[in-house]
């Protein structure tokens, strides 16, 4: 059984789709060879990908993949960030696409990182993030999604729990780390990173029925702060993971390992200055507003 849809792209070109009965097996075809709509199907997230807090639903059956946003400057910014993230972490190229849906725009309020080397980024989340918080919010969301790529590639996180919490907190940490590093986003002012994070979390977190599943908001703030602090040092993804979880108990409950940081002992002296601060972030003694002034 096939159904055909017509809709207009913003550029004015019409595209015709054929749709199979199963939305997971959909193939769209572009009527205009020069438009930017891809002819590949949109892969729906599996259970693993759905755990990311930016995901609250499957892509709509009317959504299409595109290689561009509306404006060239926006496309260049995001592609530039994607390239920079890959170079920063020493990765290989991946499939990065935008998801557009003319008939159900809100359905693209989503960003998904797939274990087979794809990142799909919705138009709706991109433009809302940009309008409300500027480029840095999209840079942070993309850095978080790329953090999941690092987890897939290096079999991280090294800590497992019964929920996705360590995966999500570490992805937040990867984002905080990338945003600070000179060859990353190069934002040494934590207040801007904190403000971007507050917004990224507010638009992304729909998991209201399972609080704590991805870490509480104070724990996630603490994870971003920890990632930012580790940005004082140049670390591989695997060293980042080691150190992130070395100090992870501080993110969760303000306690710290008393043993030696055997991998990067030089970090201990620096981090010891911030242990009380991390504890106060996760306990709520440092409020969301105060967090932005750190």
Cβ at position 98, least distance to Zn ion in Å: 18
Q: What is the distance between the alpha carbons of residues 117 and 150, in angstroms, rounded to a whole number?
A: 10
Our CB check for Zn ion shows the closer of 99 and 271 to be 99
Region near Zn ion per CB under 5 A, out of 151-159, 165-173, 179-187, 215-223: 165-173
C-alpha distance from residue 71 to each of 9, 10, 77, 278 (Å): 13, 11, 10, 40
Closer CB to Zn ion, 171 or 229, in the complex: 171
Cβ nearer to Zn ion, comparing 213 with 280: 213
Q: What distance in Å separates the CA atoms of residue 233 and residue 148, rounded to the nearest whole number?
A: 21
Among positions 52, 139, 226, 229, the unique one binding Zn ion when judged by CB under 5 A: 52
The closest residue (CB) to Zn ion is 52
| Contact between 237 and Zn ion per CB under 5 A | no
Nearer to Zn ion, 82 or 171 (CB): 171
**For Zn ion, which is the closer residue by CB, 144 or 180?**
144
Q: Does 171 bind Zn ion (CB under 5 A)?
A: yes
Burial class (CB in 10 A: 0-12, 13-18, 19+), 71: exposed
Which one of the spans 13-21, 86-94, 168-176, 261-269 is the region binding Zn ion (CB under 5 A)?
168-176
In the numeric block, the tokens 């996705």 are attached to 164
Q: Residue 129: in which H helix or E strand, if any?
A: helix 123-133
Asked if residue 195 binds Zn ion (CB under 5 A), the reply is no
Q: Which is nearer to Zn ion, 85 or 171 (CB)?
A: 171
Q: Smallest gap, in angstroms, from Cβ of residue 202 to Zn ion?
A: 15
The rounded distance, in Å, linking the Cα atoms of 242 and 257 is 13
In the complex, least distance from residue 260 CB atom to Zn ion, rounded to whole angstroms: 31
Stretch that binds Zn ion, among 16-24, 123-131, 161-169, 229-237 (CB under 5 A): 161-169
Binding mask 8-47 for Zn ion (x = CB under 5 A): ----------------------------------------
DSSP letters along 29-69, please?
--S-TTSSB-SSPPPPP-HHHHTSTT--SPPPTT-EEES--
Rounded Cα distance between 219 and 207, Å, is 15
Please say which residue, 204 or 250, places its beta carbon nearer to Zn ion. 204
Cis peptide before 157 (omega within 30 of 0): yes
DSSP 50-117: HTSTT--SPPPTT-EEES--SSHHHHHHHHHHHHHHHHHHT----EEEEEE-SS-GGGG--EEEETTT
The structure tokens listed for 67 are: 């290689």
Q: Which residues are CB-neighbours of 117 under 8 A, at least 6 positions away?
A: 94, 95, 149, 152
Q: Nearest approach, Cβ of 119 to Zn ion (angstroms)?
A: 11
SS3 3: strand
- Listed ranges 166-174, 191-199, 203-211, 220-228: which one lies at the site for Zn ion (CB under 5 A): 166-174
Q: Judged by CB, which is closer to Zn ion: 68, or 81?
A: 81
Q: How many residues bind Zn ion (CB under 5 A)?
A: 3
Q: What are the residues binding Zn ion (CB under 5 A)?
A: 52, 168, 171
């Amino acid at each position: 059984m096939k159904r055909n849809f017509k809709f207009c792209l913003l550029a004015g070109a019409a595209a015709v789709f054929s749709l199979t009965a199963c939305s997971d097996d959909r193939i769209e075809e572009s009527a205009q060879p020069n438009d930017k709509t891809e002819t590949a199907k949109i892969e729906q997230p599996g259970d693993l990908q759905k755990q990311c807090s930016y995901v609250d639903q499957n892509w709509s059956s009317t959504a299409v993949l595109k290689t561009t946003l509306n404006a060239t400057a926006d496309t260049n910014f995001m592609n530039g960030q994607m390239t920079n993230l890959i170079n920063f972490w020493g990765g290989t190229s991946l499939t990065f696409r935008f998801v557009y849906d003319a008939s159900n725009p809100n359905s693209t309020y989503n960003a998904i990182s797939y274990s087979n080397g794809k990142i799909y980024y919705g138009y709706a989340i991109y433009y809302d993030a940009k309008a409300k918080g500027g480029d840095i919010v999209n840079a942070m969301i993309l850095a978080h999604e790329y953090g999941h790529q690092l987890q897939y590639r290096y079999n991280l996180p090294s800590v497992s729990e019964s929920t996705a919490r360590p995966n999500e907190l570490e992805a937040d940490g990867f984002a905080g780390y990338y945003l600070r590093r000179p060859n990353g986003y190069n934002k040494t002012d934590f207040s801007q990173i904190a403000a971007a994070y507050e917004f990224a979390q507010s638009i992304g977190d729909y998991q209201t029925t399972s609080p704590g599943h991805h870490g509480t908001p104070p724990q996630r703030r603490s994870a971003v702060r920890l990632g930012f602090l580790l940005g004082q040092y140049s670390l591989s993804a695997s060293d980042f993971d080691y150190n992130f979880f070395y100090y992870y108990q501080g993110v969760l409950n303000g306690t710290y390992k008393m043993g030696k940081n055997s991998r990067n002992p030089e970090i201990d002296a620096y981090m010891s200055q911030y242990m009380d601060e991390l504890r106060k972030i996760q306990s709520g003694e440092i409020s969301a507003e105060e967090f932005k002034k750190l």
